Amino acid sequence: MNNSFNHFQIHALGLCGLCLCLVAGYYLGLRPVWQAQQQLQAIASEGDNLQSLRPSMELELASLTEHIAAKRQLLAEKYSIATADDQPWVGIVTQLLQQRHVELGSLREEPQGSEGGATIMLQITGTYVDLLGLIDDLRRLDRPARISSLNLSPQDERGENCSALVSVRFFPRRHNSPPPPTT
Amino acid sequence: MRSVNLLPTLATDRFRRQRLVLTWSKLLLCLSLATASLIAWGQSTATQQLQRRDQQESLAEHPRQIRKQCAALQVQLRELNQYETVQRVQRSQFSPLVACQLLHHMKAQLHGQLQITNLEFVDTSLVQTIGQAPTAGGYLSLQLISSGPTSCSRVMQSIRETNYFSDVRLSSALEKVDSTGTNLQYSVRCEF
């Protein structure tokens, strides 16, 4: 009985050693190779794909850069009159009036409520050219201003001097700045 | 001839055990050496493959950067387009300058036979929320003086032909400015 138990113990120990060698061989020898192989294949496949797409991506990049630059320039030209972030509406209007040598008769500001912004009613006099210049300036402000109404009347026979009643709605600055360029 | 084992039973068992231990030991030794070789080969191969992977990754880095830049630029372009739409929606859809330019052109066509005594521009279009299409709406009301009904008709026709307005109509009667002259004064309302 004692002898047969000893034989069994030797066989069990031998088999344990065998298993240990096989497990160690798999986990430390074969598995890392297999994993590294898989990673290499995945990266190589992605790399090949990217390399094949590279010419078209370079073209797209150049086209997008050009398109964005053109759009920025167009917007900058279209809305070319810059205003400070904290500049009040009244300040902007009086600055434009001064630049165009338009005489201010009266100015009234009506707040726009929860939407923000304000509507400004202006009674002004000046030459026809200067008044049209002022309207153009209002449309070229870097923050949106909407001319809600305009009543223009000539003051002399030739129509060189005119008086105008203008209602302009100014919108708040938020959401009204172009996105910054990507570096 | 019959062979007879003269060794005692205990000694036989001990010899058998020794032989078994020896056999297992040899087997395990060989297996250990083979496993060690396999591990050494595996580690070395894996390291080489990881190095190759790093090389491949560094090769793909430039195209990956280009792809990332393209994605960032597309986002920027979308934001710019959205900004432009917001600006277009919030600013007047129909500029009073267009009306002034139109009148200037008509005055030149009529060789001074048209006089504008008042121009009223009203923009009633609603400011839609972002993403919705803006709707243009409003009117232009003109008080004019021209030399006779023919000029008045030409003015109306010229305004209609610009296609800026959805409706152009006389909003007052044609009246003589004074009893002696031929000049007529009238009002025109143009809807846009």
Complex ipTM value:
0.72
Specify the number of domains making up chain B: 2
Query: Over the stretch B117-151, which tens digit does the pLDDT of each residue have?
Result: 999 999 887 554 445 555 668 899 999 998 888 88
Domain-terminating residue out of A27, A56, A78: A78
B56 in A contact zone (CB under 8 Å):
yes
Number of domains in chain A: 2
Q: What is the CATH number of the domain that holds A160?
A: 3.30.70.60
B51 and B137 assigned to the same domain:
no
Q: What is the mean pLDDT of residues B103-110?
A: 84
Nearest CB partner across the interface for A58, out of B45, B66, B116? B66
Q: Between B92 and A119, where is the model more confident?
A: A119
pTM above 0.95, yes or no: no
Does B11 lie at the interface with A, CB-CB under 8 angstroms?
Answer: no
Mutate which of A22, A43, A136, A183 to test chain B, going by most B C-beta atoms within 10 A?
A43
Nearest-angstrom CA–CA distance, B136 and B128: 11
A107 and A161 part of one domain: yes
The answer as to whether A156 is a domain residue is: yes
* pLDDT at B3 exceeding the cut of 80: no
Interface of A with B in 102-141 (CB under 8 A): 132, 135-136, 139
**Residue-level pLDDT at B99:** 85
Out of B53, B76, B91, a domain closes at B91
- Within this chain, do residues B165 and B112 fall inside the same structural domain, yes or no? yes
Is any Cβ of chain B less than 8 angstroms from the Cβ of A62? no
The domain of A112 spans 89-170
Domain contains B5: no
- My answer on whether B185 and B112 are in the same domain is yes
Compute φ and ψ for A87, nearest 5 degrees.
-75, 125
What pLDDT sits at residue A1? 43
Which has the closest alpha carbon to B70: A7, A87, A41, A57?
Answer: A57
Q: Quick check: A147 contacting B, CB < 8 Å? A: yes
Is B177 part of any domain?
yes
Query: Do the chains contact at B118 and A57, CB–CB below 8 Å?
Result: no
Q: Are residues B124 and B75 in the same domain?
A: no
Last residue within a domain, chosen from B33, B61, B91: B91
Q: How confident is the model at residue B109 (pLDDT cuts 50, 70, 90)?
A: confident
Asked whether the beta carbons of B111 and B94 are under 8 A apart, the reply is: no
Q: Is residue A161 part of a domain?
A: yes
| Alpha-helical segments (H) within chain A | 2-25, 31-78, 89-99, 128-139
Flag whether B3 is in a domain. Answer: no
Alpha helix (H) ranges present in B91-179?
A: 96-109, 149-161
- Of A53, A78, A103, the residue at which a domain comes to its end is A78
What is the model's pLDDT at position B68?
93
Per-residue pLDDT of chain A (183 residues; tens, 9 = 90+): 445 557 888 999 999 999 999 999 999 999 999 999 999 999 989 888 988 999 999 999 999 999 999 999 999 888 888 888 778 888 888 899 999 999 999 998 877 666 667 889 999 999 999 999 999 999 888 888 888 899 999 988 776 889 999 999 888 776 556 666 655
Instruction: Please report the pLDDT score of residue A28 as a whole number.
Output: 94
